[in-house]
Amino acid sequence: MKRAVALRAICCNGGTTEPVEPPTSPTPLVGVLLSLLNERVTLEISSGLEPTITGVLSFVGTDYVVVVEDDLAVTFVLISQIETVTPL
């Protein structure tokens, strides 16, 4: 049986694309996210359709993270949109 996987991107910025310079060293939030890699977390985000995302933190990049939710939806979240991170 094939299973469909939904991909969502939480990156609402008003439709503008502004270049973002990567930090030279990890910010405190990126450090926390890296320490929670492959762990179950809840992210509260500042904008988007859903104010919270819960799932396994599977990737931490310089400007976004990837969360695999319980229903196997893969969600991309901009780090700049993350307000709080709660390990579960």
Q: Is the dihedral of CA 55, 72, 7, 62 positive or negative?
A: positive
- What pLDDT, in 10s, does the model give residues 45-74? 987 677 899 999 999 998 999 999 989 999
Provide the token pair at 82: 């993350």
In CATH terms, 7-11+27-87 corresponds, of 2.30.30.100, 3.30.70.100, 2.60.120.10, 3.40.1350.10, to: 2.30.30.100
What's the DSSP call for residue 38? T
List the chain domain ranges.
7-11+27-87
- What pLDDT, in 10s, does the model give residues 15-56? 555 555 555 555 689 999 999 999 999 999 987 677 899 999
What's the DSSP call for residue 33? H
Note the pTM of the prediction, 2 decimals. Answer: 0.70
**CA-to-CA dists, residue 16 to 13, 20, 78, angstroms:** 6, 12, 14
